[in-house]
Each structure stands twice: as C-alpha cells, then as structure tokens.
Structure 1
Amino acid sequence: MDNVRTDKWLWAARFFKTRSLATDAVDTGRVKLDGDRIKPARAVKVGDKLAIDNGSDAWEVVVLGISDKRGAAPVARALYEETEASIVKRENDSQARKIYREPASTIKGRPTKRDRRQLGKAGE
C-alpha cells in the first residue's frame, strides 16, 4: 500500500480521534508537510516530514509506515517517528502547563458572576 490520503493516515496513526477532525485540521492549516500547507487528499509517502497541531500538542514526525486502517496504539506508533526537537518541545510545554495553569481552565462554559469576581481577584 503506497497511496493513502493524509487525513486517513493521521486518523490511522491516532493523532485525531475521527477522520473528519483530521480533515478539518488539514484544511485549516494545522498539518503541514515540510512547512507547506496541504490538502486532505494528498498522498502520504514514507519519509515525509509532517508538522501536526492537534489542539493540545504540536508534533513534528517523520512517516515510517503507511496504513489506512486504525489499529492498536503500538501499531499506530510504528507508523511514525517523532523528531528529537519535537520531543523536547512537547516535554517543555507539558512542564510549563503544570507550573503555570491557565486561569480559566477550571471554568466550564460561560463564567458566572462569582467566577468573574474570583478571576478579578486572582489578577490583582
């Protein structure tokens, strides 16, 4: 199998939960091939370097295998190799999120009057 769509590969490699989320990410430019925007139907080849932003993390990976079927996590992990720079950056981002929490991360939905007052006090 040499010809798999980018959105299908991203889904099979478990970067996105659904194929439609993968398609939307490629369409909006959150997935880039060698720094260039691509279309969801572009074929992925072994050796391609993809920059992927799935909302929570940003990955930079090199494609090692091609698959259009979503399998177990260890099988999906064998489809790509993350670059060293990407690993270091994701670890640093993870540490920064632990130390500096987003103030609004605990609020679900629209903040209430009480929530707004507490946010104001935290900023003083």
Structure 2
Amino acid sequence: MSSGVRLDVWLWSVRAYPTRSAATAACRAGHVRRGGVPAKAAQQVSVGDEIRLRFPGGRERHLVVTELLTRRVGASLARTAYEDLTPAPDPVLAAPPPRRDRGTGRPTKKERRALDRLRGRSSS
C-alpha cells in the first residue's frame, strides 16, 4: 500500500462528506485544513495528520487520521479510521430557536433585538 491517500478520497471514505465531489469542493473553498494550513484535494494524507473541517452554520470538526481508507466503508468501520477531537458544542448554541405561536405575526423590533441578544449576536 502507498504511504498516503488523497485527502478528498479519505474524507469521502470516512463519511465526512456524502460524495467525493463534495469533499473536493470543500477543499477548494478552503473549508478543509491539514496541519493548520488550507489543504488541496489531491494532497496525500498519512496516519497522524490532523484534519479540521468547517461545515455550514459554523460547525467545525477536528479529526486525527488513524487509518488510511481508499474505499467507502460502513459507518462503524469509518469511525475507527480517525480519532474525533471535536469539542462538545455549547449547549446554548445547540438549543433550538424559540418559536412564536401561529397568528402572532412578525416579531417587533424590540423582540428581534431581544432574540439577537439571546442568540449572542450583535443587533445592528
């Protein structure tokens, strides 16, 4: 076996992305970092490399390669190919957004500002 595997193939194999083309697109967009540096899809990954993935919504995963895979495998086998060092999400940010009762209309400006403060955003 070779000393490394293409980054996009490995990301697809461990089920980080649903398709290889999605993994390639994430690399092109700069959402994948290998060793703290933006990575290209064709870069070789080897055991011990640290991979950081950024997903929509601000989620981020931190993976350490423990096994090289070239084919997509089942989810239970895929989990053995990396060590997940991702910290637990902040429970405040993981909570579902508050819901309004039907028929109450749009929130007022005062209510929108209160919602923004609750979500930790700056209201402008």
The reply to whether TM is greater than 0.5 is yes
Once the two structures are superposed, the pairs formed by residues 112-123 of structure 1 within 5 Å of their partners are 118-120=106-108, 122-123=111-112
Give distance in 2, aligned partners of 1:8 and 1:49: 16
The equivalent residue for 1:78 is 80
Matched letter for residue 92 of structure 1:
P
Q: Kindly tell me: are residues 51 and 98 of structure 1, through their superposed partners in 2, closer, same or farther at Cα, counting changes over 3 Å?
A: closer
Structure 1 equivalent of residue 45 of structure 2: 44
For 1:120 and 1:66, locate their aligned partners in 2 and report how far apart those are by CA, in whole Å.
54
Task: List gaps (5 residues or longer) in structure 2.
Answer: 114-124
Task: Report the residue type matching 2:73 in the other structure.
Answer: G
* Cα gap change, 1:14 to 1:119, in 2 (>3 Å): farther
Higher helix proportion (structure 1 or 2): 1
Which residue of 2 is the match for residue 92 of structure 1? Answer: 89
Higher alpha-carbon Rg: 2
- For 2:30 and 2:50, how far apart are their aligned partners in 1? 15
Runs of at least 4 residues off by over 4 Å = 119-122
Per-residue CA deviations over 1:85-116 (Å, capped at 9, x if unaligned) read x23xxx234x223436288xxxxxxxxxx9xx
TM-score normalized by structure 1? 0.74
> If the length of structure 2 is used for normalisation, what is the TM-score?
0.74
User: What RMSD, in angstroms, separates the aligned Cα atoms of the two structures?
Assistant: 2.5
Structure 1, unaligned runs of 5 or more: 104-113
1:17-56 counterparts in 2 under 5 A?
Answer: 17-55=18-56
